Structure 1
Amino acid sequence: MNQPIYSIIIPVYNEQENLLEMYKRLSIVMEQLDGDAELILIDDGSRDRSLSMMREFHESDPRVRYLSFARNFGHQIAVTAGLNHAQGRAIIVMDADLQDPPELIFRMINKWHQGYEVVYAQRTSRKQENWFKRFTAYIFYRILQLLSDVNIPPDTGDFCLMDRQVVNVLNAMPERNRYIRGLRAWVGFRQTSVLFERDPRFAGEVKYTFHKSWVLAINGIISLSQVPLRLATYLGLASAVIALLMICLVLYWRLSSLASPLIGYTLITIALFFLGSVQLFCIGILGEYIGRIYEEVKGRPIYTVKEVGGLSALSQTDNSRHPNKMSL
């Protein structure tokens, strides 16, 4: 196979019900592209038949390459591994559950040919998702836009096309707590969107539970904004002002001999609970940032690999130069 023009990266975690249909639809798409394409499947520690199906696809189709983690490292790390190994000039990232329609790739490529280095898919609706999921997603993207130092388009996921130049910049970033759609916005370059209605899952259970979505949301905010740290400072200043006002009120009540139900244990209890809550909240914010510093300074690779198919191994030199890569 010649050097591919297009690389399609798909993280996979327990997606045996979707892989065959996904491969069929992507095969049709790849046949109609204006250049050679490779399909890179990243097994994120699946416990079902996903890995064995990847082997079968690879044996029957040389365009299919795969990489299998030694354990589950998470969706964002799986995307990162795919970016590390992609060889194409245009790299497409999408999910395996077919909520990201493969046919949308043609529209993304058209935008790329027009000179855009990043083309992201922007959802206009979410089919068959409950109101709570839609509401929390809406709130998160607006809060992230408000807090972040960069403009992150709302209602976008990891489904996108990126030029080789953009991917090279992302691969050079050594950070381990990665929020790909945020980093994609941070690097700049010419960016545009293609609108689409997000389909329901083809089959299987939703892998992004509320807990995982919450962790991803916190990671996105912490990695792209220092506003939470400033918020801790503002809360400290506000609590100090409130405490000073309460001192003045208590002195006034005492000196004027006015009876007030707020004097005594009630006032002390309220003040203690308020100040304790503010302190714990601020410590929690500091802990999130310190935890990420701790992860960075350890210098461990962000993933380990147990099996590859059709992908060249990364050399030890590459691994030392880019600490987010793991030598195979």
Structure 2
Amino acid sequence: METLSIIIPVYNEEETINIFYETLNKVEFNQSIGLELWFIDDGSKDHSLMELKKLSEKDSRVHYVSFSRNFGKEAALFAGLERASGDYVAVMDVDLQDPPELLPKMLDEIKENDYDSVATMRKDRDGESKIRSFFARKFYKWMNKITSLKLVDGARDFRIMTRQMTDSVLKMRENKRFSKGLFNWVGFDTHYLAYENRERVAGKTSWSFWGLMKYAIEGFISFSTAPLTLVTSVGAFSFVLSLIGAVVVIVRAIFFPHTSTFGWPSLVVIILFFSGIQLLSLGIVGRYIAEIYMEVKDRPIYLVKEEK
């Protein structure tokens, strides 16, 4: 019998855990497929861990890992991937925005068409704020332009992977993780299934707008050096402008000594402009140095408090 391991990150989701479990139990899988559930409690402050312990006691297929604190969804996904032992590995959210009823179809797609992964994407962004949708679309657009990745707009983390692809993702142990990029970077043949966007079944999302912005920046830094190239280009352009300006000043002083010069307001504007460029450049370079700093520390991606 083949096994499907399902990884479910959890953070303050006491209201959704049992709803998810009951919904998953109603899904009709092929009899030749066994299930293994890994709930990863990412340092929840509510009673999520208590609910997971109850499920684990009544169902031997249910396992849980509880972190010592909140390490983030990426760390939770990695912890689940490390523990999943199935022939196929799925990652999905507990809030039912990722429909469990799609799992059998996704498995069939992998087996029948010899895919390495079947992932999901939203057909639309109904229910999402316009500002958030706008920035999300721009993120995918620019990621595809400045990196070698080809991310699908609306793609979810919800996917099923073969054992080979899962092992390949596990080989990348960087501290600052961006799973959408990692799943894409390893290659392998991935097929996307589209479905209608769904709202959370209960509770509130832990992802704020600024949290998503920070996550997007991590993606850019992890998979592209384009910002550094931009800084270099701006520096070169500024240098050329300064040379032209120097020539103009010298020629003007020699041939037009009596002409008026720019006043101090113009000088202040110029100073502020180039100072701003310098600070922006230092910030971008510093962001990359900070990433290097965090990686060379070689701290663990997560710490486990208890596990079953």
Q: Same fold (TM over 0.5)?
A: yes
Q: Is the 8 A contact 1:10 1:40 kept in 2?
A: yes
**TM-score if structure 2 supplies the norm length?**
0.94
- Alpha-carbon contact 2:9-2:77 (below 8 Å) kept: yes
TM superposition shift of 1:196 = 1.0
1:278 match: secondary structure: helix
1:126–1:200 Cα contact (<8 Å) kept: no
Q: Distance in 2 between matches of 1:59 and 1:296?
A: 38
Q: 1:51 aligns with which of 38, 42, 49?
A: 49
Partner of 1:90 in structure 2?
A: 88
- Which residue does the alignment assign to 1:152? 151
What do you get for the CA RMSD once the two structures are aligned? Answer: 1.7
Distance 2:31 2:40 in 1: 22
Q: Tell me the secondary structure at the aligned position of residue 244 of structure 1.
A: helix
Deviations 1:115-160 (A, max 9, x none): 1112111111123111111111111111111111222222212111
Which of 9, 16, 19 is the matching residue for 2:17?
19
Q: TM-score, normalised by structure 1?
A: 0.89
Q: Provide the secondary structure at the position in 1 that maps to 2:159.
A: strand
Partner of 1:242: 241
| Distance 1:253-1:168 versus aligned 2 partners, 3 A rule | same
What percent of counterpart residues are identical? 38
8 Å contact from structure 2 (residues 143, 149) kept in 1: no
Closer, same or farther: CA 258–170 of 1 in aligned 2, 3 Å: farther
Pick which of 24-33 and 275-284 moved more: 24-33
Q: Which runs of 4+ in 1 moved over 6 A?
A: none
1:191 corresponds to:
190
Cα displacement (A) at 1:66 = 0.5
Following TM superposition, by how much is the alpha carbon of 1:259 offset from its aligned partner in structure 2, in angstroms?
5.1
* Higher mean displacement: 95-104 or 251-260: 251-260
Matches within 5 A, 1:1-328: 5-29=3-27, 34-113=32-111, 114-254=113-253, 255-256=255-256, 263-309=262-308
Q: 1:93 to 1:189 in 2, by over 3 A?
A: same
Q: Quick one: distance in 2 between partners of 1:75 and 1:121?
A: 18
Code of the aligned partner of 2:57: E
| Unmatched tracts of structure 1, length 5 or more | 310-328
CA deviation after TM superposition for structure 1 residue 257, in Å: 5.2
Question: Any idea what the Cα deviations from partners look like across 1:43-101, whole Å, max 9, x if unmatched?
Answer: 00001111000001110111111100000000111111100100111111111111111
Structure 2 unpaired stretches of 5+: none
